Amino acid sequence: MTEVQRLAGLVMALGALILSACHDSAGPSPAVVCDPDDGGLTLPPGFCAMVLAKGLGPARHLAVRPNGDLYVALNNSSAGPGGIIALRDTDGDGRADLQERFGPTGGNGIAWQESSLFFAPDDRVLRYDFSGNALLPSGAPVTVVSGLPANVPGEHDRKTIVFDHAAGLLVNIGSPSDACQELNRIPLSPGILPCPQLATRAGVWRFSAMATGQTQSDGTRFATELRNMNALALDPADGVLYGVQNGRDLLSLYWPNLYSLQQHALVPAEELFRIEPAKRYGWPYCYFDGITNQKVLNPEYGGDGVVIGMCQDRERPLTAYPAHWAPLSMLFYTGVQFPEEYAGGLFIAFHGSQPAPPAPGAGFVVTFVPWHNGPLGAYRVFADGFAGGTFTVAGAAHRPVGLAQGPKGEIYISDDQAGWIWRVSYVGAGR
């Protein structure tokens, strides 16, 4: 082979590679395979879904490696300890034919950074390092942060992890109560003022993503008065942190003299915040009433559903979602596979609520809102059908939790009820 022929071959190969890359990352692809019933989901026209894995266990947040490998955080459960499941499609059919499980305990938060996978059990953050294209880590994890508050099982112990643009690791630390009462979850028990839980919980803490062996005292409290921010994400367009708060519960049970069953079903709203240092967001002193569009004083602190009081000085949400929908994850879409209206937009996965008579259970959905430095209009339901017609926490077929974006612009959705993972793709309006 002459030098000219060799160079010509290299140019042709490079051209083919560029064309292939463009085909894979821009617009709908006829090669996408989806399930005939879209895995039971209802999606907008032109979208389709495939169930790429089933029966994984309580699948929580998701992380996608640049090569397309998917890592699933599994929560601990009565069936046994959780961990991490690594999923790889080796034959290109879209399904995870290679599954490997590792890690001694379960957790909620998981994120890929450089060549490492960060994972958050309830009381710490671990880092797994990888070598080359190996599906599994090259050794045991190192501890990035330990000793995080997780001493009240069932009271918002799960941690979410997000990386900022300055080598920072942001960690949600939820409240250990409903409203910082003297007697937790006891009717008519007053709130403690000031709430001592805010010193170590009910906020977002920032640690170094590069360091190891840190404790909570090595971090800084980035934001406070946030009850529980499992749904937390950095907008890559501006580097700002956003989150959706799980609002308080059971107003009519704790304060039947002030709230009816109907009011309990409708308030408080789940609040979407722009989260910035030194700002106060209201918990446990305030809640947001999405009906009156007011942030009002909690009854534990002298409120009656109308009084605003100190809540006048707390941050209002950018927008509000229905009561008790339980937001658990967020995703800003940066791909180019979906139509232009989705560029930069925000997806939120809602875990769903118990019926609160007279209202039925609701919120087993993934929503979408167009976005530019904040929501551009009202949200709409993007993916539905998870509950399978039974809108209760125990009876729902599936409950959405995690969201992640793949290298070709597809998105993944996890479910901790039946352990399913969906891949949602755009295949064109003619489908």
DSSP state string for 28-47: --TT----TTGGG-B--TTE
Task: Give yes or no for a contact between 234 and 243, defined as CB atoms under 8 angstroms apart.
Answer: no
Report whether pLDDT(322) > 60: yes
pLDDT of residue 151: 76
pLDDT of residue 321: 97
H helical segments located in 244-307: 251-254, 261-266
Summarised one tens digit per residue, pLDDT across range 328-386 is 999 999 999 999 999 999 999 999 998 887 788 999 999 999 999 999 999 999 999 99
Sheet containing strand 47-53, strands side by side: 47-53, 421-426, 411-415, 400-405
Helices and strands: H and E segment counts in the chain: 3, 26
Spatial CA neighbour of 267 closest among 185, 224, 325, 308: 325
Q: Which run of H or of E encompasses 12?
A: helix 3-25
Summarised one tens digit per residue, pLDDT across range 65-83 is 999 999 999 999 988 999 9
Report whether pLDDT(3) > 50: no
Tokens matching residue 112: 């890929």
- CA geometry: angle at 355 spanning 353 and 358, to 5°? 135
Question: What confidence category does residue 15 fall into, taking pLDDT thresholds of 50, 70 and 90?
Answer: very low
Q: Is 247 exposed, middle or buried (0-12, 13-18, 19+ CB in 10 A)?
A: buried
Pick the most confident of 8-17, 147-156, 233-242: 233-242
Report whether pLDDT(227) > 90: yes
Q: Flag the least confident range among 17-31, 127-141, 157-171, 249-263.
A: 17-31
pTM for this prediction: 0.92
Domain ranges of the chain: 40-426
- Please check whether the domain covering 40-426 is classified as CATH 2.60.40.1080: no
Summarised one tens digit per residue, pLDDT across range 354-366 is 888 778 899 999 9
**Mean pLDDT across the stretch 272-292?**
97
Residues of the chain with pLDDT > 90, as a percent, come to 85
